[in-house]
Amino acid sequence: MIALLVRDLKLAMRAGGGFGLGLAFFLIVVTLVPFGVGPESALLAVIASGILWLGALLACLLSLDRIFALDWEDGSLDLLATAPLPMEAIVSVKALAHWVTTGLPLVLAAPVFGLLLNLPTNGYKPLILSLILGTPALSVIGTFGAALTVGLKRGGLLLSLLVLPLYVPTLIFGAEVARRGVAGLDNGTPMLMLAGITLGVIALLPFASAAALRVNLR
Amino acid sequence: MGIAVSDLAVARGGIKVLEGVCFALEPGQALVLRGPNGIGKTTLLRTVAGLQPPVSGRVEMAVDNHVYAGHADGLKATLSVEENLSFWAHVFGNKDVSDALSAFQLTSLADRPAGALSAGQKRRLGLARLLVTGRPLWLLDEPTVSLDSDAVAMFAEVIRAHLSRGGAALMATHIDLGIKEASTLDLAPFRAKAPEPDDFDGVFL
């Protein structure tokens, strides 16, 4: 399992691996917003946390179809399926590798991008906390979508259509944690809901992803 | 340790292609599957490997006993030859890849990215993967594609060594490897017949 994680991280870092693509996309989305809504810093401060969450979500979506598609094309998915690793472990490791290469850099970069959007000072802590709690769910749900659409030609669009509605609860509670933090309100309840969603999908979805993958490999 | 297949029927894309397939393979034996294109050699191998369920019949073998090698080699272009091989070795719980590299004369290419290899070299690397798995039963789908005659001889030598260690191999191939332990199974007699419609309406349903 560790070998698979190390291989996936290595592949992401090497040429054409796509590491940093999500981050660059996040940066561009965040810089485009002030051009769209105008440079009023009071308005930006209100919408900053929501924009950052939306940007992180879209950046995450961008790299989802690579999770299984590349392994499918070169045949390594067939070989992995006949290897001694259980399919549930393979999808969990794949989701973890996706989070480390996409979710984690987004969490680390979010404070810098918050600066671009004039995020109020007291909003940084809840924003980073909510992203740390929420982005693993984005990766796990996305892995499920990737397992459903693996082997389809141009499955990327279908993948987005399948996955985006499933992202709604994470987005609602994640953005709510950050918004309440900015407004100086108590954000314990949405934080617990967000953590609950993340833990729930981590516990359940690998089984669904493994089942979908088995059907698609036939 | 061996494998016994009885009355197996397999389907590709929902259409039954083979039925009534029976064979048994003991340690030290090799079986070559033959038949025209589309007869279902790949489908049979994938079914035996557990990648798809059989329509009917049984495949009896020990769990975690086999390794499958399909048309694609499962190589990552940006990883080096040695990294590709040691990844698979770790997945199967082994470490040492030097024997596998030397068996297929890949030692001098060990640091080269797999994407920079020729088609034949890639295939040799894909076959070297079999050695690092340490599994006794090899399921091979067209293993000699894009190999030159020297490499085919190299591969036959590896198969012979594997059989003498008590391994077994089930392979679909069109060329003669010159392995005397190998028997041949022609799949043409097992071609599935189209089901007879029960009545006139059945043809349209």
Q: Which of B67, B76, B87 sits opposite A3 (nearest CB)?
A: B87
* More confident call, A17 vs A131: A131
β partners of residue B6:
B58
What does the alpha-carbon distance between residue B44 and residue A55 come to, in Å, rounded to a whole number? 47
**How many CB atoms lie under 10 A from the CB of residue B191?**
16
β partners of residue B16:
B11
Contact (CB, 8 A) for A72 and B67: no
Question: CA–CA distance from A5 to each of A91, B76, B110 (Å)?
Answer: 11, 14, 22
- Structurally, chain A folds into a number of domains equal to 1
Residue A67: band (very low, low, confident or very high) from pLDDT cuts 50, 70, 90: confident
Q: Which of B169, B155, B132 is nearest to B23 (CA)?
A: B169
Q: What is the pLDDT of residues B51-103, one digit of tens each?
A: 888 888 888 888 778 888 888 888 888 888 888 888 888 888 888 888 888 88
Instruction: Judge: A218–B51 Cβ closer than 8 Å, yes or no.
Output: yes
* More confident call, A196 vs B133: A196
Residue A18 dihedral angles phi and psi, to the nearest 5°: 90, 5
Instruction: Provide the shortest C-alpha distance from residue B88 to chain A (in Å).
Output: 8
Is the pLDDT reported for residue A92 higher than 90? yes
Sequential DSSP letters for B119-141: HHHHHHHHHHHHHHH--SEEEEE
Instruction: Provide the shortest C-alpha distance from residue A153 to chain B (in Å).
Output: 17
Is the pLDDT reported for residue A75 higher than 60? yes
User: Domains along chain B?
Assistant: 3-195 (3.40.50.300)
- Chain B hits for A3, CB-CB cut-off 8 Å, are 87, 90-91
Sequential DSSP letters for B66-92: EEEE-SS----TTSBHHHHHHHHHHHT
Q: Torsion over CA of A104, A106, A107 and A111, rounded to 10 degrees? A: 150
Q: Is B165 helix (H, G, I), strand (E, B) or coil?
A: coil
Is the pLDDT reported for residue A13 higher than 90? no
Give pLDDT, residue A89: 92
Q: What is the CA radius of gyration of chain B?
A: 19
